[in-house]
Amino acid sequence: MMGYFSMMFLYFDPGLGAMLVQAIVAAAAGIVLFSKNFMYKVKSFFGLTKSQKDGIDTMDFEQDEKQPNEEQGS
Amino acid sequence: MKSKAHRHQASFRDPSGYIVQDGSSFKRVINPIYFPVYDALCKADFFAPLFKAKMLIPHVEQERSDQSIILLPEQIELMTYPYEWSFEQYKQAALLTLKLQNYALDRDFSLKDASAYNVTFHRGKPIFIDTLSFDLYQKDSPWRAYKQFIGHFLAPLVLAHYHGAEALKMMQTHIDGIPAALAASMLPGRSKLSPTLYTNIHLMAKMEAKHKDEYTPKSRSIKLSKKSLRNLLRSLYDYINKLELKEQTEWGDYYNKTNYQPQSFDFKKQQIQKWIRSRAARKIIDLGGNDGTFARAILQDIDLAVVADIDHNAVASNYAQVKANKEVNMLPLWFDVAQPSPALGWANKERDSILSRLQVWGPEAVLALAVIHHITLSGNIPFEDSARFFAGLSSVLVIEFPKRDDSWVASLLERKREFINHFDHYNLQEFEQAYMRYFTIEEKVEIPGSQRVLYLMQTRE
């Protein structure tokens, strides 16, 4: 197992700057997501939210799984 | 592995395993170093839901020994690379990568790389093809592929958003992704007002410059909670999902701009269908195929139609139709006949040129409809050279020749101004003469109501 991880380390350099910056990126992302959520709640409280946009994608896997297999045959 | 199998150069970077070509099929060999992760993935039933959702290329385990595990994946007909995708295709590939990382995190795994070359288009959809990219998630560790994701996906997409789809072609000169510093220098100042762009690109470029000479000291561990990592992924996902190309014009009615007379259009369509059926060609490439209108007209007879065009809008419109119609046998390709994607990377073998990929795939017919005047008059490519080029791709060629009186040809000739006499060779006789060095003309018909002639040609011997 140790051998595996030391090899992974050599695989490619993830970049120290890029590893460090993630904490800041994630914090900023957290604030943006929080405020978006907050605004959404405020808007829906006043009945200002639009109905779901057409087929908006989400990152969550479960949603995809439920889609029926409706592809055309070739 | 059997001695006849040979290792493909695209896979040397990852010590976890490699790809071999065994006869006509590609296989993935797993090295013992990756066995613990592979076994953990199998035990967690990680793969099956992804196969079902068509997010990861399905495979079966074929052989297992102490030295190697051999996987036989579902075969990809024709690999396309990031610089051959339209903006929307590129965007869907980025979203797929983030979805997979999110899925992996749910199950305590993580993508150890996020290269755009890990995705290709298969049966109408982007699909992840590097089965060995998944690693065990280590608690509170940042995403080691984050920098790669930014360079391979966010940077090219954002540059395309601000500067047009041509920016995606930068991936040809930056096989390891577009460096954050370069992306930052090309973005307008107002991009700093976007929290996503400020942090992921501008700040990243600064941090990289600051720490470029340091290596990670063992004592210093950088921590990032899983929740924070998810926020990072979600914000990238939301941002990319909304990203659009400014230049994008209205789709759907694209073909209306190319004013065909309805009867000429139908005649051409029926003639092509008849010829393709007569040759039983089930793998075709349409060069200069616009938004795929003609290939689509004969799609029910085809296993895979690759439709290549130089015009990004046409490729984008084609992909929009593939998505809307859920077509599985149409592959839009952004491709300039006069400058096909070259071989790239280590020893020029890491990424094959589009021509060698096409040769391996082996199209059974080439369609070159109303494209010869562009090749000859805009590209200044002599008839004999274009004939040799087409003959090298397939033994069957369906080619449409617009005569000098065609309005398009006339306007291309007029643009030659004082050099117009240098293009006197653009006529039916010289065209046939040059093409007959490589082909025999099997059939030839004038398209009614037009100044165009349609040929069915077959390579000599």
Which sequence spans correspond to the domains of chain B? Answer: 6-73, 82-242, 254-459
Contacts of B204 (CB under 8 A, 6+ apart): A17, A18, A21, A25, B147, B150, B180, B184
Closest Cβ–Cβ partner in B14, B106, B207 for A11: B14
Identify the pLDDT of residue B24: 83
DSSP B31: P
Instruction: Chain B: give the shortest CA distance to residue A41, in Å.
Output: 18
Residue range B430-444: average pLDDT? Answer: 97
Contacts of A58 (CB under 8 A, 6+ apart): none
Mean pLDDT per 10-residue run, chain A (74 residues)?
A: 43 79 92 87 81 64 54 41
User: Chain B 337-376, CB below 8 Å of chain A: which residues?
Assistant: none
Identify the pLDDT of residue B215: 66
Contact B233 A22 (CB under 8 A): no
Cβ contacts (< 8 Å) between B143 and chain A: which residues? 22
Identify the pLDDT of residue A56: 55
Contacts of B401 (CB under 8 A, 6+ apart): B372, B373, B428, B431, B452, B453, B454, B455
More confident residue, B216 or B281: B281
Residue range B415-426: average pLDDT? Answer: 85
> What sign does the dihedral B394-B398-B402-B408 (CA atoms) show?
negative
Say if CB B332 and CB B86 are below 8 A apart. yes
Identify the pLDDT of residue B423: 85
Considering chain B, what percentage of its residues have pLDDT values greater than 90? 81
* pLDDT tens track for B135-160: 999 999 999 999 999 999 999 999 99
Identify the pLDDT of residue B239: 96
Identify the pLDDT of residue A2: 39
Which amino acid makes up residue B448? P
Identify the pLDDT of residue B449: 87
Identify the pLDDT of residue B415: 87
* pLDDT tens track for B32-55: 999 999 999 999 999 999 999 999
Contact A25 B204 (CB under 8 A): yes
Contacts of B222 (CB under 8 A, 6+ apart): A19, A20, A22, A23, B141, B142, B216
Buried-state track B236-258, b at ≥16 Cβ within 10 A, e below 16: bbbbbbebebeebeebeebbeee
More confident residue, A47 or B180: B180
Contact B33 A3 (CB under 8 A): yes
Assess whether pLDDT exceeds 60 at residue B186.
Answer: yes
**Superfamily of domain B254-459, CATH level 4:** Vaccinia Virus protein VP39 (3.40.50.150)
Neighbours of B322 (CB within 10 A): 23
Assess whether pLDDT exceeds 90 at residue B287.
Answer: yes
Contact A72 B33 (CB under 8 A): no
Identify the pLDDT of residue B216: 59
User: Strand pairing of B69-73 and B109-111?
Assistant: unpaired
Say if CB B391 and CB B311 are below 8 A apart. no
User: Chain A 11-70, CB below 8 Å of chain B: which residues?
Assistant: 11-12, 14-33, 56-57, 59-61, 64-65, 70
Identify the pLDDT of residue B43: 97
Instruction: Chain B: give the shortest CA distance to residue A43, in Å.
Output: 19
Identify the pLDDT of residue B134: 96
* pLDDT tens track for B240-259: 999 999 865 544 455 554 55
Identify the pLDDT of residue B60: 97
Q: Is B287 helix (H, G, I), strand (E, B) or coil?
A: strand
Contacts of B145 (CB under 8 A, 6+ apart): A14, B101, B110, B111, B112, B113, B114
What whole-number distance in Å separates Cα of residue B10 and Cα of residue B345?
9
What whole-number distance in Å separates Cα of residue B117 and Cα of residue B128?
9
Nearest of B315, B297, B158 to residue B249 by alpha carbon: B315
Closest Cβ–Cβ partner in B223, B232, B241 for A29: B232
Identify the pLDDT of residue B461: 74
Instruction: Chain A: give the shortest CA distance to residue B204, in Å.
Output: 6
* Adjacent-strand bridge partners of B331: B306
